[in-house]
Structure formats: C-alpha cells, structure tokens
C-alpha cells in the first residue's frame, strides 16, 4: 500500500491489532507466573515510583483498568502480601500503597517473563531505530497522558 493511500484508520487498525496480538502472547506466558497482567500492571506502576510507594489516586491514573477494578485488585494484592496500604499522613482521605519485599520479588519474577516475551515479539523484530521511532510515535499519540507531573510523596 502506498503511503499516500494510508488513512489514519489503517494505521490505528494496524497498531491495535499488533497490540492485541502481543498482549495475547503475554497473557499465555503469564499463566505460569502466578499473577494476572492487571496485577503485574499495578505492581509495575508502584515499582517505578520512588520508594516503590504511591498514592492510590495516582495509581488509579496510571494503570490500564478502571478505578473500581484497581481498588478490588489492590485489596487482593494486599491479601496476597504483595503490597501494603497505609493512610496518607498529609491527606486524611488518601491512601498510600507500597510494594512489600514479597511483592518486589514477585514483580521481578514476572518482569523477567515479560521482558523475554517483549524482546521476542518486539525487540527481535524491530531495529534500534525502529524501536526509537515506535516509542516516539506512541508517546506522541498519548499526548498529555505521557506521565504528567505529580506532587511527590514526602
């Protein structure tokens, strides 16, 4: 297909189908990890924060599931010993969630599976230049949703 005849819907469809295909493979590989992709996403977003702790409201803005689903998922991860919840000392209505040592170990274990899968599906197919271009294009498409500035935890 000549580039002049590609419509935005063609590009969207290609991007969407590639993402779905890769996510299906990741889900298959996560069967033996002992956690779901959504659980991994929550642990990932907590892990990338300073001190591996974050306000629950900020976590809600970062993950790929709805706020009510995050609350239930956080409670399950607390019950499994992967994260701990505490009151936000600066906001009486707020909650802080942080990775426990067990949660950090589970995250690292799942992360190795995810890294291998992404390397296989993406890193081995695209050149370094294509990876850089893909990253730039996806960040541009995300617009203002590229990790906005948040008030740091004390």
**Cβ neighbour number for residue 97 with a 10 Å cutoff:** 25
Fold of 9-132: Arc Repressor Mutant, subunit A (1.10.10)
User: What is the reported pTM?
Assistant: 0.81
Which of 118, 41, 137 has the alpha carbon at shortest distance from 146?
Answer: 137
Q: Provide the residue-wise pLDDT of the chain in tens; the chain has 154 residues.
A: 556 788 999 999 999 999 999 999 888 888 888 898 899 999 999 999 999 999 999 999 888 888 778 989 999 999 999 999 998 888 878 899 999 999 999 999 999 999 999 999 999 999 999 999 999 999 999 886 555 444 555 5
Q: Which residues, in sequence order, are CB contacts of 96 under 8 Å at separation 6+? A: 53, 54, 55, 56, 85, 86, 87, 88, 153
Beta-strand runs (E) in the chain: 53-55, 83-88, 91-99
Query: What are the residue boundaries of the structural domains of the chain, listed by start?
Result: 9-132
CA atoms within 13 A on the CB side of 83: 31
Which pLDDT value is given to residue 3?
A: 63
Which pLDDT value is given to residue 151?
A: 54
Which of 104, 95, 101, 41 has the alpha carbon at shortest distance from 73?
Answer: 41
């Amino acid at each position: 297909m000549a580039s002049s005849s590609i419509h935005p819907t063609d590009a969207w469809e290609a991007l969407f189908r590639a993402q779905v295909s890769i996510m299906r493979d990741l889900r298959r590989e996560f069967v033996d990890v002992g956690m779901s992709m959504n659980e991994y996403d929550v642990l990932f977003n907590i892990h990338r924060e300073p001190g591996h702790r974050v306000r629950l409201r900020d976590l809600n803005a970062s993950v790929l599931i709805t706020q009510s689903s995050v609350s239930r998922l956080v409670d399950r991860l607390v019950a499994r010993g992967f994260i701990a919840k505490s009151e936000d000392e600066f906001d009486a209505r707020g909650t802080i969630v942080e990775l426990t040592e067990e949660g950090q170990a589970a995250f690292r274990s799942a992360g190795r599976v995810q890294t291998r899968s992404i390397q296989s599906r993406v890193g081995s197919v695209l050149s370094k230049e294509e990876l850089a271009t893909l990253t730039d294009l996806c960040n541009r498409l995300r617009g203002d949703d590229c990790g906005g500035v948040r008030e740091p935890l004390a």
